[in-house]
Structure 1
Amino acid sequence: MFIEQPPFIYRLLFPGGIWRMPSKEEKVIYLTFDDGPIPEITPWVLDVLDQYNIKATFFCVGDNVRKHPEEYAEVLRRGHSVGNHTFNHIQGLKTRTANYMKNAELASQYIDSPLFRPPHGHLRLPQFFRLKKNYHIILWDVVTRDYSKRMTPEQVLDNVKDYTRNGSVIVFHDSLKAEKNMKYALPLAIEWLKEQGYVFKTIEEGLAQYDHETIEAIVTNHHNSENDNRELARDYR
């Protein structure tokens, strides 16, 4: 569970980071896709989303956008949101802050978005606070682990079923590494989520529901304790 759904202690490290956005009016989830766009996978994901009439958020690697501008343009043309995932998918904990910021800034030349997601979810605190001046830092409530060779396609689907709750930000990957697991799990996950009554929104649609103070309150309440997490989930169902 530590990997699939980060514990509140880890979330405390990044005050103001967005992990989850529950709604009082409806059961909502946010599908997100990391590491694209690439021609081998991203068009398939777009077709699946079209099939179910769903909009999602793609956290794109800047160098992939540079290499595959047609795929990036198609993501936007079909009405999805995008976010910055650095230019080279670099690991924040292994990178000096100045170099990390330069890499994110380079990606911003190709990706026009107020959203940022750090690769692997790893950031040094100075990186986090500098990025937060210009971006909403989007993390996650559920990571499917579709990228892992240790996971079967069925286990990836089970991660969605076991950990999703109102307001979950769910991570899939439009990458070659995730292809087998993701192609099995994504359509079945969407069908299951629809059966459970979830509404699908982009991250930007979710943020638009709240003013800054409300977002901060949700994040703060969500971090207090596991009991508070359960209460918040109950209150927003």
Structure 2
Amino acid sequence: MATAYLTVDDAPSATLPEKLAALEDYGVTALFFCEGRRLAEHADHARRAVEAGHLLGNHAFDHNHASDIAVEDFAEEVDRTEAAIDEVYEAAGIERPATLFRFPFGDKGGDRAGEFQTVLADRGFRPPNADLIGYDFWADHAGDRDWFWTVDVADYDVDTKAGLAENVADAADRLGSDSRDILLFHDGGNDPEQFEHYLKLLDERGVVFGDPLDLVDGVASASD
């Protein structure tokens, strides 16, 4: 099975510390896409994530659909969140290894997508290494600076262990043997017990997790 990379949206939540403990138990390094408004409330939790070896990415400030806001407002949200993430890394005493972005809801801006990508390019955001992702649909977004996903575990859509198991089985079956995979999880709105159970199920399915920094285009991680 190919390597998968765990990305976690809507961070940091009040229950992030419990999720960090679960990630440590399973030896998984995650990339947390942070909302600026959540960082304002739980910056300490984000700092603990950085200190534990996880990455922080930008998920805009107010989690708006890009299609619904002006490009100028989007740029302001990105910049405010960048400043908050920089403060977290500074508080942790750790150099930030890369600037990464994911659009809320995966909404790239519709007909104005090119303008939003220019905002990201002008700020030096780095995408995943496209050479490592073998899905045909990925080529449709060649040159984009944001982090989309290859598999959505849909953790937001179930609340029973049977439902979790079904979603994980479906997700694991869709992992590409010839491609690296980017898994979409969530922090905000996700119960810690549910989060840990997902990790357990994926582990039982033999999913091999890598360090997301290894997937960043043009950036070498300490494991290289």
* Alignment TM-score, normalising by the size of structure 1: 0.69
Q: Distance in 2 between matches of 1:188 and 1:163?
A: 15
Q: What one-letter code is carried by the residue in structure 2 that aligns with 1:173?
A: H
Query: Quick one: distance in 2 between partners of 1:193 and 1:35?
Result: 26
Partner of 1:68, secondary structure, is: helix
Q: Deviations over 1:77-104 (max 9, x none)?
A: 1001110001111111111111111111
How many pairs are equivalent? 181
What SS class does the counterpart of residue 11 from structure 2 fall into?
coil
Q: 1:208 to 1:96 in 2, by over 3 A?
A: closer
Q: In structure 2, the residue corresponding to 1:35 is in which secondary structure?
A: strand
**What is the deviation of 1:178?**
6.1
Point out where structure 2 has 5 or more consecutive residues left out of the alignment.
Answer: 87-97, 127-145
CA RMSD of aligned residues (A): 2.4
Residue 209 of structure 1 deviates from its aligned partner by 7.0
Cα 1:180–1:94 change in 2 (3 A) is farther
Q: Answer yes or no: is 1:135 the counterpart of 2:125.
A: yes
Alignment of 1:93 onto 2:67: yes
Cα-to-partner distance string for 1:135-169 (whole Å, 9 max, x where unaligned): 12111101111112599222321232121123000
Equivalent AA in structure 1 for residue 68 of structure 2: K
Structure 1: 5+ residue runs without aligned partners? 1-25, 212-237
Q: What is the rounded CA distance, in whole Å, between the counterparts of 2:14 and 2:189 in structure 1?
A: 10
Are 1:38 and 2:45 an aligned pair?
no
Cα pair 2:29 2:212 within 8 Å, conserved? no
Using the aligned pairs only, state the percent identity: 24
SS in structure 1 opposite 2:56? strand
Task: Give the match's secondary structure for 1:164.
Answer: coil
Structure 2 residue aligned with 1:162: 173
| Residues 179-232 of structure 1: per-residue CA shift (max 9 Å, x gap) | 6753432321133234xxx2x223322226779xxxxxxxxxxxxxxxxxxxxx
Cα deviation for residue 36 of structure 1 reads: 1.2
Between the aligned partners of 1:84 and 1:65, the Cα distance in structure 2 is: 10
Matched residues in 2 for 1:51 and 1:177: separation? 18
Please identify, of 60-69 and 176-185, the stretch whose mean Cα deviation from structure 2 is larger. Answer: 176-185
